[in-house]
Structure 1
């Protein structure tokens, strides 16, 4: 499998030099390419992107407005959408017309470095860049430094004809965007972005709506009651698309068993009945899997909507434990019904989690309430 870092390579640098010189003949293509490609193979992905941005900074016009015009003129046509409304790749012919893709990340970083003294011009440039990649990282320093001006522009962009620009409104202002600058003011108080999310949550594009869901999920990490209230309010008269958005926005709170969120989804009532959990083994090795067997028995004369998840308390390097919630089952348990459920849980290491030996506990959550548990010893 090709390393991710190779998405920015010497070919990327050469294409950037070609198109920048095409639109600005005075561009020092040779000096730019030498600086951008120097030692590139030894660098990881983000370092490659920043080195390319350094080279842009040394080679573009000193006047930012002139430099922004050069960047805009070098761009390929906007990225088209596929039949599902998702971004599709440019054809070879379209790609030959100008720049798009990962190189645009470096261009956005250049705008963030040099455009802070002319925010309106910088935002117009990001408006163009985001239609060829995403300017979600580049816009964040502007939100941090000039929040009023940027949020006023984003409020206009919620009605932009470009799906890429409308998505940027939500994605660029997420409080905790992965890989991006954390917007601490919005972590503390997310209310400035709520009108933007309200305007976009029924956007015709699933690409935009998914960003709104992720933005709300970010907010839920610091303001769970706000998001629970949002779900309760906006579920009323919601169609299938908005309902799916709100469920995706609720995912972290539901996994945590957050009672107000579960209540908003009609899952606030604990199970009336009995629950049991058993494991296929009391001892398992790293790399194996272990089977969970669940038994539910209703004592109610009415059907019950249930969300059944399980929590694995992983042993950490220092001997303490850390809980991780895993998706289980969503079901309606009939009146007086008994139901058996089963699932196999992998004990293979993954890049985001190291498995250490020791006693692990698995807890079964039913509508957010812990109703049963079982232990097993993990060995190397």
Structure 2
């Protein structure tokens, strides 16, 4: 299986160069390709290759950013004409170009972001503009929330997520998300699930710093439409995992008469990359049907010897009165590049409707 960075392949640059021959005046394909495939290229990771592509392209573009924007527009049109992939990740260097070389030209950059995001998302490239031009940029995003194109509407919410993964932080919006809320209000019943999903993710970001704001929105939007109910459910996922009392109450998730029994860790010693296996029985002892949200927590041993809990969802469904089910779960400890495991004591717990019912220990051997 090839690495993600390999989207920047000789074939990609060959096709891109053919497009740039059409859109960039006096473009030198051979020189461009030589500069791309310099000695450090082989060791570059995905983001480094993206930024490298941006910088090399800049050497062939007009110094005037307004003229460069026109070339970006022509390039996108030409890629589309040649059947290029809409939203193809390799083209993320286009919003990166706007971010790197357009920050001092607000007017042309806004135009470029609006156009480019309809081809490849500008959710990362827009963030420096939010920081440098906070008031006008947030006003622009509010306007975009009513744009006819769903990619632009999504940019209005995804671009201002306070905690967008792998993105530049937006401290102003983490501190006070007030400017985001009218955007979410405009998009809560959007016709595109792609957009509504972004609304939910934005709410989930806000909930990590301002749970009461999201709880208020949850109460306000409850039962408005099935779309808003779905947004709230996904947008409150962190609060649900945290067992926040108000959101549990919002969904009627109490656990007083829901029991967990016969909890057993089948693999008290787990050797990486094997899996932890455990089982338990859950029973609804109420006289009425109850929704049971089942989760489990893994307390990972960290480098400092402390335990850090991560919650995983098992299921959420209706249990009939006196219904009792056996649940068997596995948790992989397969090595991945984004996570490091440490030997020693770990714990696993079973969580029912936000309440940790049972917990026990196991040993991880790396």
TM-score with structure 2 setting the length: 0.90
SS of structure 2 residue aligned to 1:75: helix
CA contact (8 A) 2:154 2:194 kept: yes
Equivalent residue for 2:126?
Answer: 139
Deviation at 1:103, TM superposition (A): 4.8
CA contact (8 A) 2:24 2:60 kept: no
Deviation at 1:100, TM superposition (A): 6.8
CA contact (8 A) 1:250 1:261 kept: yes
**Is 1:104 aligned with 2:86?**
no
Structure 1 range deviating more: 30-39 or 44-53: 30-39
2:230 equivalent among 244, 249, 256: 244
1:16 and 1:308 map into 2 onto residues whose CA distance is 49
Deviation at 1:364, TM superposition (A): 1.6
TM-score with structure 1 setting the length: 0.87
Equivalent residue for 2:59?
Answer: 58
What is the RMSD of the two structures over their aligned residues, measured on CA atoms? 2.5
Once the two structures are superposed, residues 211-255 of structure 1 have per-residue CA deviations (whole angstroms, 9 ceiling, x without a partner) of 22211112122122222222222122321x332222221222211
Deviation at 1:195, TM superposition (A): 0.9
- The verdict on how the C-alpha distance between 1:287 and 1:192 changes in structure 2, with shifts beyond 3 A counting, is same
Alignment of 1:1-380 (within 5 A): 1-39=1-39, 40-76=41-77, 93-95=82-84, 101-239=88-226, 241-267=227-253, 269-276=254-261, 277-380=263-366
Gaps of 5+ in 2: none
- The verdict on how the C-alpha distance between 1:211 and 1:77 changes in structure 2, with shifts beyond 3 A counting, is farther
CA contact (8 A) 1:16 1:103 kept: no
2:16 and 2:317 map into 1 onto residues whose CA distance is 53
Deviation at 1:30, TM superposition (A): 4.6
2:187 and 2:152 map into 1 onto residues whose CA distance is 12
- The verdict on how the C-alpha distance between 1:273 and 1:368 changes in structure 2, with shifts beyond 3 A counting, is closer
Once the two structures are superposed, residues 305-327 of structure 1 have per-residue CA deviations (whole angstroms, 9 ceiling, x without a partner) of 22121111122233321111111
1:242 and 1:61 map into 2 onto residues whose CA distance is 46
Deviation at 1:337, TM superposition (A): 4.1
- The verdict on how the C-alpha distance between 1:346 and 1:33 changes in structure 2, with shifts beyond 3 A counting, is closer
Gaps of 5+ in 1: 79-89
Equivalent residue for 1:83?
Answer: none
Structure 1 range deviating more: 53-62 or 188-197: 53-62
2:196 and 2:327 map into 1 onto residues whose CA distance is 33
- The verdict on how the C-alpha distance between 1:328 and 1:120 changes in structure 2, with shifts beyond 3 A counting, is same
1:288 and 1:67 map into 2 onto residues whose CA distance is 52
How many residue pairs get aligned? The number is 364
1:6 and 1:173 map into 2 onto residues whose CA distance is 29
1:373 and 1:130 map into 2 onto residues whose CA distance is 47
1:283 and 1:201 map into 2 onto residues whose CA distance is 47
SS of structure 2 residue aligned to 1:156: helix
Structure 1 range deviating more: 62-71 or 26-35: 26-35
